[in-house]
Copies of this chain bind each other. A is one copy, B any other.
Amino acid sequence: MSEAESSPPEGAGTRAAAESSRGADTLGSVGELDALARIIPRLPPSAATVLGPGDDAAVLAAADGRYVVTTDMMIHGPDFRLAWSSLHDLGFKAAATNLSDVAAMGARPTALVVALAAPAETPVSDLEALADGLREACAELAPGCGVVGGDLSVSPTLTIAVTAFGDLEGREPVRRDGARVGDVVAVSGSLGSAAEGLALLFEHAVDNEGVPDAGAAARLRSEHPGAVADQLTPRPPIADGVAAALAGATSMLDLSDGLALDARRIARASGVSLDLDAAAVCMAAGVDASRLPHVIVGGEDHSLLATFPPATGPGQSLPGGFRVIGRVVEAGDDGPALLVGGRVFSARGGWDSFDEWSGGAG
């Protein structure tokens, strides 16, 4: 409609009618090929494209002689509620969460392929909005990265599967197992905010029966823009992945399952313990001490957690948005662990999608 409104008055009525008719199109009514024809022009191009969409497969450049690959699926019900997330939000989040896995290897994201399955009654305009979300996430978080291929299907359950690719540009990948005693532990991006957003949504963006409610979600979004946006449209610090690699990060990962669970992954893989400073964690998260437990177990920030060699001289600073939140220490008698202020943090913590799922889609 906005296109029709901005056109000259002559013929605007006809165009609005045509737009309105197109607005009633669904995936089932127009079919896969026609829907794709409307989606593909909205997808971002990739600078790594050798051969783009339209053949059996795409061909991508890998001047480095290697490429980084990760895949992640978002499913209506376990992963999102349509009363809270628009299709535009979902496209943005699907791109952002996969880009952060590429960034966590110290790689520059180059391309995505997207397999999308949606109910037959899904408006094609919703699929266009999803494409817009993918495009805007790539443009904002990883310029040059684009969608080089995909698949569109009908399914009773809206499902978005993204596979993302990255270029190491001659560097070694930054793995989880390289943290060394004496390294500093640092984070770039939000901490606990996405989980706070989810808690707010479950508390306030539901009706009296606890069913997700779109109107309440819209009000909440305007009242708590930070946390709710961090949950629904995360903006991880993608460029800081390459910056960390260039600065000599010894280990790195994407904080998808919460600081407690993910920090333990680095500890176990590296055979060390990570000792977090409570005050530094709270400062990095922008919260007071009472929120520390929530910050440590809350998932889905998709921020970058990394370890760096200790400063070797005055004035040495961490790259990009990284802030120190702790130190790498020797593993104790019970093996690698997460410590906070020198004491073992034993709460299980972290996110397992099966535990949290109520079975209701919303």
Contact = CB atoms under 8 A, between A and B. Distances in A.
Interface of A: 27-28, 31-33, 50-51, 54-73, 75, 77-79, 101-102, 104-105, 107, 111, 113-117, 120, 148-151, 153-157, 159, 161, 163-166, 168, 173, 175-176, 253-254, 269, 352-355, 357, 359, 361
A245 to B, nearest CB: 13
A32 B354 CA distance: 7
- Taken together, the copies of this chain in the complex come to 2
Q: Select the residue from A78, A105, A117 with max chain B CB neighbours within 10 A.
A: A117
Contact of A66 (B61, B116, B117, B352): B61
A349 B63 CA distance: 42
B61 A149 contact: no
B156 A159 contact: no
Contact of A55 (B64, B66, B153, B175): B175
A258 to B, nearest CB: 14
A151 B60 contact: no
A68 B355 CA distance: 37
Given A105-B56, A353-B154, A50 B66 contact: yes
Contacts of A66: 50, 59-62
A266 to B, nearest CB: 11
Residue of A72, A102, A354, A361 with most partner-chain B CB within 10 A: A354
Contacts of A70: 56-58, 113, 149
A269 B28 CA distance: 27
B67 A60 contact: yes
Given A113-B163, A156-B77, A69 B62 contact: no
Residue in A59, A168, A253, A352 with the greatest tally of chain B CB atoms within 10 Å: A59
A55 B105 contact: yes
A171 to B, nearest CB: 11
Given A57-B166, A58-B69, A73-B116, 7 more contacts: A57-B70, A57-B104, A67-B67, A71-B113, A71-B163, A120-B354, A153-B353
Nearest to A257: B33
A117 B51 CA distance: 30
B166 A56 contact: no
A118 to B, nearest CB: 10
A323 to B, nearest CB: 20
Contacts of A62: 62, 64-67
A282 to B, nearest CB: 26
A168 to B, nearest CB: 7
A154 B116 CA distance: 16
Contacts of A148: 69
Given A31-B352, A32-B353, A32-B354, A117 B75 contact: yes
B57 A161 contact: no
Given A105-B59, A115-B71, A357 B175 contact: no
A354 B104 contact: no
A247 to B, nearest CB: 18
A164 B69 CA distance: 11
Nearest to A162: B115
A64 B32 CA distance: 34
A73 B153 contact: yes
The 7 A-B residue pairs whose C-beta atoms are closest, nearest first, are A57-B70, A161-B161, A62-B62, A157-B157, A56-B104, A163-B163, A73-B115
A246 to B, nearest CB: 18
Nearest to A105: B57
